[in-house]
Amino acid sequence: MEKVVDPKIYFRTAIALLLLLAATWMIAYINLGLFNLIAALAIAITKAIVIALFFMHIKGSSRLLHLAAIAGVMWLLILISLTLSDFLTRGWTQ
Amino acid sequence: MKTAIEIDIQTEGEMPREHYLNVKTGVKAWLLTMDHKRIGILYLWTILVFFLIASVAAAMMRIELLTPQGDFVTNETYNKLFTIHGVLMVWFFLIPSIPTVLGNFAIPMMIGARDVAFPKLNLLSWYIFVAGGALTLWAIIHGGVDTGWTFYTPYSTTYANSHVITMAAGVFVAGFSSIITGMNFMATIHKMRAAGLTWFRLPLFIWSMYATSVILVLATPVLAITLAVMCVERIWGVGIFDPKLGGDPILFQHMFWFYSHPAVYIMILPGMGVVSELITCFSRKQIFGYGFVAAASMAIAVLGFLVWGHHMFVSSQSVYAGMVFSILSFLVAIPSAIKVFNWTATLHKGSIHFATPMLYALGFIGLFTIGGMTGLFLATLAVDVHVHDSYFVIAHFHYIMVGGMVMAFMGGLHYWWPKITGRLYPEMAGKLAALTTFLGFNLTFFPQFILGYLGMPRRYHAYPPEFQMFNVLSTAGASILGIGYLLPLIYFLWSLKFGRVAGPNPWRATGLEWQTPSPPPKHNFEDKTPIVTEKPYSYSAKEDADLNLASI
Amino acid sequence: MNTTTTIEAGLVHQQFDDIGQQREAAKLGMWIFLATEVLFFGGLFLSYTVYRFVYGHAFVEASRKLDVVIGGTNTAVLLISSLLMAFAVRASKLDQRRMLTGLLLGTAFLGCVFMLLKGVEYHKDYVDHLVPRMGFKWEGADPGNAELFYWIYFAMTGLHAIHVTVGIGILLVLALLAWRNTFSNGNHNTIEIAGLYWHFVDIVWCFLFPLLYLVGHR
């Protein structure tokens, strides 16, 4: 038999995720200006991290897997930020 | 490298009785093989076919450019020729060349493994590659595509009346073969190394293949989604690059070059790895600055992702972004220069053997340096505005891709040929071919630097008469270059039957792959598992004073 | 070789030394594949981000027409399916054949519920003239930019739906194999790898939901 995770952890993870979903849904109905977007993204990132850590067992995995999990996101940030360095400096944003 | 296994070096060896080539024969055994060495050979034949087709396209273009008038082919055909040449050479020859042929063949052996981590996926990657190639060939046979290999929007989505979708689909499919290969190599290099083979004992070829795999894995998916979105826009009639909706065609260029600039490093990093192997072996010296050369590979892989905008200086990209990309582009010169300096320092006071692989490696260093230096011209925002889309650019990237990558590929193929087939190629013919290639290459592409600087734009089938002399020189060079490529094709085939038997280690090289018979047994190392106790390249010029690898 | 490897010997492919190396390699391979998936979706996330910045106002307006109830419910459906999948991986490690089969089928079922709701929503979008080029009609300002938003919406959710469909297919095959006792005695690697894929698809939706349905405040 392999060592397995305590079921409680999975249940807690799921409850946390559902609560985060409720939070993001509710915040959308309050006008917070730019903060709406920031809150939505922050919650989405938190959900992603929670899923990766507990459902995908990144917690307790080797550093190599941590690196592999982060690499894709890092490269996506390179793609987005350098492309925006063009679009945000063109002078035709509203 | 002195390891637990001691294999006595035979100069006049015998072929092993059973090896990976004769263990199971027949078409079915080859088509269902999961042996990384055989898959390497499958790839070799496949990319050879694409190389030949793409070369024919190049030859037709060079014939057209002999005269200023467009008299050999129409402008429309010419557009299709350079598209065929670009698409096939980039995606179906250069990108797979060293990784899938030499990488597949050598990586597991060089790290002391029995196979790659995922042999089934490895075979699958070949089938996917063939499927992608078939789609592309279908598009060529049914009339071709005239967008150029870059598929720029809105021309590709709206105006081009050719088989854009099929050809882009071919490239899309072939991309997954790249991704699988990269993933496989990374898992293999991480998890399958022999006992004692720490990261800093790895041959530099492994480091460069690892860096290449990182790019394959992280860049290729962006190309895939870009081409998919472009195709959907062409089919659907509206899309995100469509100015009618407020979309921006420049976004396509950003996404395309996010892949295609790192792809340039997919095409050169493996070559750098091969050259590190060749320079050390044929100058009988430890590499100068191992850590720097290894780190430079990784630095090139990462920095390569930060510079794509230098392809877009004259698009409507913002001037600010242009400046940022220009500065970042200069950074890539640092690790590239580190490599060139370290190879040169390795040669210093080495006992240099001018064997065929070494001739290719030396050619690589010179041509890559020219290609790299002219790259700095192009990275300079102001200069690029002048020479953008001219023959200067053509000459620059052919110095990198043909002068760099193809020279390294040929060098590596000669170097590992005795390991692949168990037989040596004829050395004199090899030297002749290497020199012919070098001369032909320079004659073809050096005049193009001048042409570009004088203002001849790329992608036209006719040109003003004052450019004719340089174009004639270039076409003459291309014919010589063609001979340089045909010669190895002939003597390699000849050597399969008549070549001298090589023995396990004809070059007295130190890598693990040389510690097993040539050709190797099915699982590479028979029963013995290699153990590594030393750094790579522990050559000694003194010990090998009587050696003459150039007349082997 | 120690004693525990005797059962596992049949499972270890010839290129590996032991089952541990094989599992590690497979997991690493899957994570690398997921990194490529991030960038595969990444092209669309980039397009979204660029146009969100350039046409922010139009995007907020366009997003309000999407059905947030279906989108939100679907998020919950996927999150719960992820929970079942996590338990499926656990069951495979504990050698619980019936449990494993049931959980895989349950996960696949929730995947189907997601697809069903998505289908209902797509139909509603069509009726509301929100499908680009297929009778797209927009009463407000900037109809072009709104159409751009809906193009991206269909591209992103469509690509995601393809991934869900593939996932359902994989889960059903695995459920059948699990019923035939394929994954017993430590042969649970495949389940774990499939689980990683399913969780990844869930993560993508965790971003799609707020970005597409809750662009600004509603």
* Helix (H), strand (E), coil (C) string for B95-134: HHHHHHHHHHHHHHHHCCCCCCCCHHHHHHHHHHHHHHHH
Q: How many whole angstroms separate alpha carbon B345 and alpha carbon B276?
A: 12
| 3-state helix vs strand vs coil in chain B, percent to 5 | 70, 0, 30
Surface of C (13-52) touching A: CB under 8 A: 24, 27-28, 31-32, 34-39, 42, 45-46, 49-50
pLDDT, tens only, C93-148: 999 999 999 999 999 999 999 999 999 999 999 999 999 999 899 998 889 999 99
pLDDT at residue A94 is higher than 50: no
pLDDT, tens only, B79-102: 999 999 999 999 999 999 999 999
Contact B190 A90 (CB under 8 A): no
Q: Are B300 and B269 in contact (CB under 8 A)?
A: yes
Contact B325 A64 (CB under 8 A): no
pLDDT-based confidence at B12, cuts 50/70/90?
Answer: low
Q: How many whole angstroms separate alpha carbon B379 and alpha carbon B364?
A: 22
Distance from CA of A30 to the nearest CA of C (A): 6
Distance from CA of B48 to the nearest CA of C (A): 28
Distances (CA, A) of B176 to B125, B129, B266: 7, 8, 15
> Domain span at residue B209?
36-537
Point out the least confidently predicted range of B512-521, C118-127, C151-160, C208-217. C208-217
CA dihedral B253, B256, B257, B263 (to 10 degrees): -160
Burial of B156 (0-12, 13-18, 19+ CB in 10 A): buried
Sign of the Cα pseudo-torsion (B283, B286, B289, B295, in order): positive
Cis peptide leading into residue B519 (ω within 30°) = yes
Interface test with chain B among C23, C151, C156, C189, by most B beta carbons within 10 Å: C151
Contact B218 C39 (CB under 8 A): yes
Establish if C70 touches chain A: CB-CB under 8 angstroms: no
Q: Mention every residue, 6+ apart, whose C-beta is less than 8 A from residue C102.
A: none
Q: Mention every residue, 6+ apart, whose C-beta is less than 8 A from residue C142.
A: B246, C55, C57, C58, C61
> Is the same domain home to A8 and A26?
yes
pLDDT at residue B198 is higher than 70: yes
The tally of CA atoms less than 13 A away on the side-chain side of residue B319 is: 3
Report the 10 Å Cβ neighbour count for B189. 24
Give me the count of residues in chain C.
218
pLDDT value, residue A92:
53
Q: How many whole angstroms separate alpha carbon B470 and alpha carbon B221?
A: 40
CATH number at residue C29: 1.20.120.80
b (16+ CB within 10 A) / e for B58-70: bbbbbebbebeeb
Establish if B41 touches chain C: CB-CB under 8 angstroms: no
Establish if A15 touches chain C: CB-CB under 8 angstroms: no
CATH number at residue B133: 1.20.210.10
Backbone angles phi, psi at B423, to 5 degrees: -125, 155
Chain B contact set for A86 (CB, 8 A): 250, 254, 309, 317-318, 320-321
Question: Is residue B59 assigned to a domain?
Answer: yes
> Domain span at residue A88?
62-94
> Is the same domain home to A78 and A36?
no
Distances (CA, A) of B338 to B405, B467, C146: 18, 37, 51
Interface test with chain C among B181, B193, B225, B235, by most C beta carbons within 10 Å: B225
Q: Mention every residue, 6+ apart, whose C-beta is less than 8 A from residue B9.
A: B503, B504, B505, B508
Closest CA to B40 of B122, B147, B139: B122
Which residue on chain C is closest to B247 by alpha carbon?
Answer: C148
Q: How many whole angstroms separate alpha carbon A81 and alpha carbon B258?
A: 12
Neighbours of chain B (3+ CB pairs under 8 A): A, C
pLDDT at residue B412 is higher than 50: yes
pLDDT value, residue C8:
52
pLDDT-based confidence at B17, cuts 50/70/90?
Answer: confident
pLDDT value, residue A93:
44
Distances (CA, A) of B544 to B13, B316, B348, B350: 19, 59, 16, 11
Which residue on chain B is closest to C55 by alpha carbon?
Answer: B246
Q: How many whole angstroms separate alpha carbon B217 and alpha carbon A75?
A: 11
User: Domain count of chain B?
Assistant: 1
Chain B contact set for C145 (CB, 8 A): 245-246
Report the 10 Å Cβ neighbour count for A19. 10
> Is the same domain home to A36 and A52?
yes
Beta bridge partners of B195: B531
Contact B305 A75 (CB under 8 A): yes
> Is the same domain home to A39 and A10?
yes
Q: Mention every residue, 6+ apart, whose C-beta is less than 8 A from residue C162.
A: none
pLDDT value, residue B169:
97
How large is the average pLDDT for residues B317-343? Answer: 95
Beta bridge partners of B501: B423
User: Domain count of chain C?
Assistant: 1
pLDDT, tens only, B470-518: 999 999 999 999 999 999 999 999 999 999 999 999 999 999 999 999 9
pLDDT, tens only, B340-379: 999 999 999 999 999 999 999 999 999 999 999 999 999 9
Burial of B384 (0-12, 13-18, 19+ CB in 10 A): buried
pLDDT-based confidence at B15, cuts 50/70/90?
Answer: confident
Interface test with chain C among B191, B230, B253, by most C beta carbons within 10 Å: B191
Which residue on chain B is closest to A81 by alpha carbon?
Answer: B306
pLDDT-based confidence at A33, cuts 50/70/90?
Answer: confident
Reduce the DSSP state of residue A81 to 3 states and report it. Answer: helix
Which residue on chain B is closest to A74 by alpha carbon?
Answer: B218
Contact B119 C25 (CB under 8 A): no
Point out the least confidently predicted range of B163-172, B536-545, C164-173. B536-545
Interface test with chain A among B199, B320, B381, by most A beta carbons within 10 Å: B320
pLDDT, tens only, B511-529: 999 999 999 999 999 877 7
Choose among C133, C142, C148: nearest Cβ to B240: C148
pLDDT-based confidence at B8, cuts 50/70/90?
Answer: very low
Q: How far is CA B80 from the centre of its chain?
A: 23
pLDDT at residue C6 is higher than 80: no
User: Domain count of chain A?
Assistant: 2
pLDDT-based confidence at A71, cuts 50/70/90?
Answer: very high
Q: Mention every residue, 6+ apart, whose C-beta is less than 8 A from residue C169.
A: none
Q: How many whole angstroms separate alpha carbon B227 and alpha carbon B296?
A: 31
Question: Is residue C14 assigned to a domain?
Answer: no
Which residue on chain A is closest to B255 by alpha carbon?
Answer: A79
b (16+ CB within 10 A) / e for B241-269: bbeebbbbbbbbbbbbbbbbbbbbbbbbb
pLDDT value, residue C5:
45
Surface of B (217-246) touching C: CB under 8 A: 217-222, 224-226, 229, 232, 236-240, 244-246
Contact A86 B190 (CB under 8 A): no
pLDDT at residue B10 is higher than 60: no
Closest CA to B138 of B172, B161, B164: B164
pLDDT, tens only, B214-268: 999 999 999 999 999 999 999 999 999 999 999 999 999 999 999 999 999 999 9
What value does the CA radius of gyration of chain B take, rounded to a whole number of Å? 23
Q: Which two tokens stand for residue B264?
A: 């340039």
> Domain span at residue C123?
24-213
Question: Is residue B509 assigned to a domain?
Answer: yes
Share of chain C above pLDDT 70, in %: 94
pLDDT, tens only, B432-457: 999 999 999 999 999 999 999 999 99
